[in-house]
């Protein structure tokens, strides 16, 4: 049997899930190599040749001469172009999809990532910085409000279909609990989260390489939070 085109290197994080969601929703065969942060596999010289940033996710397309793509937004865009899925051919809808993809990549991801860092890593390891927690928490809430406004009267961020903009944004917005940012009163956002919660293929993707229910406020959150803080102690 021939190897699948796409070889995905990833871990169970908000950025790491994005290509998994695409591949599962698109029914695309792929090979998965889980990357262990504990073993610092994302910093290994051979991996850094594929992803100069030393982070996950990365794909290698065997169907395109082993072409490597890093940055989760660029990966979604590449996959959308390769497979002709989840990105409209209509020029304006296509532009809107890329606008919301960039909004996630440049706003939601970095801001939520910082509040998660200060709440879930710095604070439990003895470096409590309330100013940073408030600054990044308030900015995250503001960005989630922008999403809520966008989602008024619409099922998806762009057009009538689930797109790479939704796929990029969902794992972050769904992890608002882990960021300790409230989504109370954001009815359109919550309805959109519920809509994606009901997509079996997206939910199957979130189980890989391993499930992280604590990100979504489920399971033994205290134990998961303690283990996470300990893992990033140094
Ligand atoms: N902008 C990058 C961010 C990638 C990123 O920060 N990945 C994190 C996990 S979500 C990572 O690899 N962390 C491990 C490390 O920092 O060494 C993307 O979207 O791909």
Terminal alpha carbon distance of the chain: 44
Domain boundaries, the chain: 6-83, 91-231
Q: Is the CB of 15 under 6 A from ligand 1?
A: yes
Reported as type and span, the H/E element at residue 7 is strand 6-10
The conformation of residue 175, written as its DSSP 8-state character, comes to T
Determine the pLDDT at residue 1. Answer: 66
Place of tokens 């102690």: 233
Q: Kindly give the distance from the C-alpha atom of residue 72 to the centroid of ligand 1, in angstroms, as a whole number.
A: 9
Q: Kindly give the distance from the C-alpha atom of residue 1 to the centroid of ligand 1, in angstroms, as a whole number.
A: 33
CATH class of segment(s) 91-231: mainly alpha
Q: CA dihedral in degrees (174, 107, 182, 97; nearest 10)?
A: -50
Reported as type and span, the H/E element at residue 17 is helix 14-25
Cα three-residue angle 161-168-111, rounded to 5 degrees: 135
Please give the number of the atom of ligand 1 that sits closest to the Cα of 42. Answer: 17
| CATH 3.40.30.10 fits domain 6-83 | yes
Report d(CA 144, CA 167) in Å as an integer. Answer: 15
Structure tokens at 200: 């079996």
Q: Is the CB of 56 under 6 A from ligand 1?
A: yes
Determine the pLDDT at residue 232. Answer: 82
Determine the pLDDT at residue 2. Answer: 85
Q: Is the CB of 42 under 6 A from ligand 1?
A: yes
Determine the pLDDT at residue 93. Answer: 98
Q: What is the largest CA-CA distance in the chain?
A: 56
Same fold, 6-83 and 91-231: no
Determine the pLDDT at residue 126. Answer: 94
The conformation of residue 176, written as its DSSP 8-state character, comes to T
Coil, helix or strand at residue 16 = helix
Please give the number of the atom of ligand 1 that sits closest to the Cα of 43. Answer: 17
Ranges of residues in the chain whose predicted pLDDT is under 70: 1
Using alpha carbons, list the distances in angstroms from residue 62 to 43, 48, 67, 80: 22, 18, 7, 16
Of 16, 17, 21, 23, nearest to 51 by C-alpha is 16
Report d(CA 82, CA 51) in Å as an integer. Answer: 20
Q: Where does residue 201 rank: exposed (0-12), middle (13-18), buried (19+ CB within 10 A)?
A: middle
Name the residue of 56, 111, 232, 234 whose CB sits within 8 Å of the most ligand 1 atoms, as the mutation to test its pocket: 56
Q: Is the backbone peptide bond immediately before 209 cis, with ω within 30 degrees of 0?
A: yes
Q: Is the CB of 14 under 6 A from ligand 1?
A: yes
Q: Kindly give the distance from the C-alpha atom of residue 160 to the centroid of ligand 1, in angstroms, as a whole number.
A: 30
Chain-centroid distance of CA 124 in Å reads 24
Report d(CA 147, CA 168) in Å as an integer. Answer: 13
The conformation of residue 45, written as its DSSP 8-state character, comes to H
Determine the pLDDT at residue 233. Answer: 81
């Amino acid at each position: 049997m021939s190897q699948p085109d796409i070889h995905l290197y990833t871990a169970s994080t908000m950025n790491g899930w994005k290509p998994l969601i695409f591949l599962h929703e698109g029914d695309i065969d792929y090979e998965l190599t889980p990357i262990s942060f504990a073993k610092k596999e994302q910093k290994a010289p051979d991996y850094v040749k594929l992803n100069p940033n030393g982070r996950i996710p990365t794909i290698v397309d065997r169907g395109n001469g082993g072409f490597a793509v890093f940055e989760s937004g660029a990966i979604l865009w590449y996959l959308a172009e390769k497979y002709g899925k989840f990105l409209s051919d209509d020029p304006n809808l296509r532009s809107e999809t890329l606008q919301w993809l960039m909004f996630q990549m440049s706003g939601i991801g970095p801001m939520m990532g910082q509040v998660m860092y200060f709440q879930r890593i710095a604070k439990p390891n003895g470096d409590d910085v309330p100013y940073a927690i408030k600054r990044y928490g308030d900015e995250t809430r503001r960005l989630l409000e922008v999403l809520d406004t966008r989602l008024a009267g619409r099922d998806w961020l762009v057009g009538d279909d689930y797109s790479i903009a939704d796929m990029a944004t969902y794992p972050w917005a769904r992890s608002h609990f882990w960021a300790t940012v409230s989504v109370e009163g954001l009815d359109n956002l919550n309805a959109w989260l519920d809509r994606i919660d009901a997509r079996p293929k997206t939910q199957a993707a979130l189980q890989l390489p391993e499930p992280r229910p604590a990100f979504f406020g489920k399971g033994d959150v205290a134990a998961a939070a303690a283990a996470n803080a300990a893992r990033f102690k140094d």
